[in-house]
């Protein structure tokens, strides 16, 4: 029995010293940088990431969210006006839309979309059923941007009383002129 008691006491003393040693080593290593355990490449990568974070914080401070939102809303509005003026036509609104087209698109685009007078002769009516706009990320000083638009519209040929549904994917390039965005390029993606 004495040997069992002696073994218990010796075990308790050894465990106590191990516990004290672990606590001491934990306290010693607690304040050291983790960079000692990282390779030089990892340290450089960590430094680059920290610099990138600082740069992004600076950009976040200088570019308020409201400026980006304003540009996005303005672009979305111009895209909607463009789609409406191009894909929604009838004899009653044709001349109005043709006159207002200079606020939405350049002269070349106006000639392309408003050269035919079949709308004015009440031969065709078109109506948008659904339109989706996909706008790329807008940078602060960006003066040109592409917007992909998905449009479903209905074409009604009045003389033949035929109705046709059409689906289009288009890419429209908008350029910043003064304080507004003007459509300057058009490409069918289908």
Q: What is the pLDDT of residue 64?
A: 65
pTM of the model: 0.60
pLDDT by 10s per residue, the chain, length 190: 688 888 888 999 999 999 999 998 888 877 555 545 678 888 888 899 999 999 888 887 776 667 778 888 899 999 999 999 888 877 787 888 888 888 899 989 888 887 765 554 667 788 899 999 998 888 878 889 999 999 998 988 888 889 999 898 899 999 998 888 999 999 988 7
Smallest CA-to-CA distance from 158 within 119, 130, 115, 116 is with 119
User: Rounded distance, CA 48 to CA 162, Å?
Assistant: 63
**Tokens (6 digits) for 152:** 């479903």
Q: What is the pLDDT of residue 35?
A: 45
User: Rounded distance, CA 35 to CA 33, Å?
Assistant: 5
**Tokens (6 digits) for 130:** 């659904």
How far CA 92 is from CA of 82, 95, 109, 120, 161, in Å, comes to 18, 7, 21, 8, 18
Chain-centroid distance, C-alpha 120: 39
Give all domains of the chain, ordered by start, each with its CATH number: 65-188 (3.10.450.230)
Q: What is the pLDDT of residue 172?
A: 94
| Residues 6+ away with beta carbon under 8 Å from 154 | 126, 127, 129, 163, 164, 165, 166
Q: What is the pLDDT of residue 122?
A: 67
């Amino acid at each position: 029995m004495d040997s069992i008691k002696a073994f218990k006491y010796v075990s308790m003393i050894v465990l106590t010293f191990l516990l004290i040693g672990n606590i001491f080593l934990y306290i010693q290593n607690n304040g050291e940088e983790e960079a000692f355990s990282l390779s030089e490449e990892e340290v450089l990568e960590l430094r680059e990431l920290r610099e990138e974070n600082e740069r992004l914080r600076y950009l976040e401070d200088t570019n308020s969210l409201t400026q980006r939102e304003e540009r996005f809303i303005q672009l979305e509005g111009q895209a909607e006006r463009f789609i409406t003026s191009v894909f929604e036509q009838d004899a009653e609104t044709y001349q109005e839309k043709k006159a207002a087209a200079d606020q939405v698109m350049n002269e070349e685009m106006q000639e392309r979309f408003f050269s035919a007078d079949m709308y004015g002769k009440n031969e065709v009516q078109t109506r948008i059923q659904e339109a989706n706009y996909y706008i790329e990320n807008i940078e602060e000083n960006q003066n040109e941007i592409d917007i992909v638009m998905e449009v479903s519209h209905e074409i009604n040929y009045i003389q033949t009383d035929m109705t046709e549904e059409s689906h289009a994917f288009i890419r429209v390039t908008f350029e910043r002129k003064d304080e507004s965005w003007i459509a300057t390029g058009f490409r069918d993606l289908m």
